[in-house]
Amino acid sequence: MAITLYDMPASGHCHRVRLLLSILGLEYEKKPMSTRAGKTMPADYVALNPLGQVPTLVDGDLVITDSTAALVYLAKRYGDTRWLPDDPAGAAAVQRWLSTASGELYRGPAACRAALRFGRQLDIEAARGWAIRLFDWMEQHLADRTWLAADHATIADLAMYAYVRVADEGDLDIAPYPAIRRWLGEVEALDGFEPMPRKE
């Protein structure tokens, strides 16, 4: 089966899927999307992904229209239990961070970046508040551990990575967070790592 990823290079949501595809050494076709707003997506793409969001992962006849769902699928289909543990406690620990990636990370660092880099209209102060609470929590959590959800890298780390790495594009400073900066370095040292594109 051929894997296709509908992708935007500057999207952290897309990057997390590209990152796992690269780490797993999977060949895939990349179809770049040039618009950001769902209503302006091409009609054939909206037929594939009714919300008009990116990324969309297609594997044969299977269509997955959410980035964290794509991580779960790829880990289960092509990876091993290192990336998504089978045991209940391990799976729950990963899910906690997947939820954070879709919640606090999106409302905080991702929103700050969207406002300042892409001109999105949103409450920047509220987004900064979310970002600071998230970074404070992550720093405490990582103070005595290397990875977010296990004693090795999981899809939790990949889901959280991109928007933390480019936090400065949202005028957020991670210099006061040494544990977070160390964790970013650990992710970047993974075999098959693919960088998150920076603003030119």
Tell me the domain boundaries of the chain.
Answer: 3-78, 88-188
For residue 39, pLDDT over 70 is answered with no
ω into 55 cis (within 30 of 0): yes
Q: Has residue 58 got a pLDDT over 90?
A: yes
* Beta bridge partner(s), residue 62: 59
pLDDT for 139: 98
3-class DSSP state of 46:
helix
Closest CA to 30 of 46, 47, 43, 11: 11
Find the mean pLDDT for residues 19-28.
97
pTM for this one? 0.94
- What's the gap between Cα 174 and its chain centre? 18
pLDDT at 120 over 90: no
Domain 88-188: which CATH number of 3.40.50.2300, 3.30.413.10, 1.20.1050.10, 1.10.645.10: 1.20.1050.10
Structure tokens of 199?
A: 């603003």
pLDDT at 61: 93
Confidence grade of residue 133 (pLDDT, cut at 50, 70, 90)? very high
- Nearest CA among 1, 16, 70, 9 for reference residue 187: 16
| Sign of torsion over alpha carbons 96, 99, 103, 105 | positive
| Overall average pLDDT of the 56-79 stretch | 96
**pLDDT of 48 over the 80 cut:** yes
Helices assigned H by DSSP within the chain: 12-23, 43-48, 67-78, 88-102, 104-105, 111-118, 124-142, 155-165, 178-188
Residue given tokens 């977010």 in the structure block: 148
**Three-class SS of residue 2?**
coil
| Architecture of the domain whose range is 3-78 | 3-Layer(aba) Sandwich (3.40)
Each residue's pLDDT tens digit, 142-189: 999 999 999 999 999 999 999 999 999 999 999 999 999 999 999 999
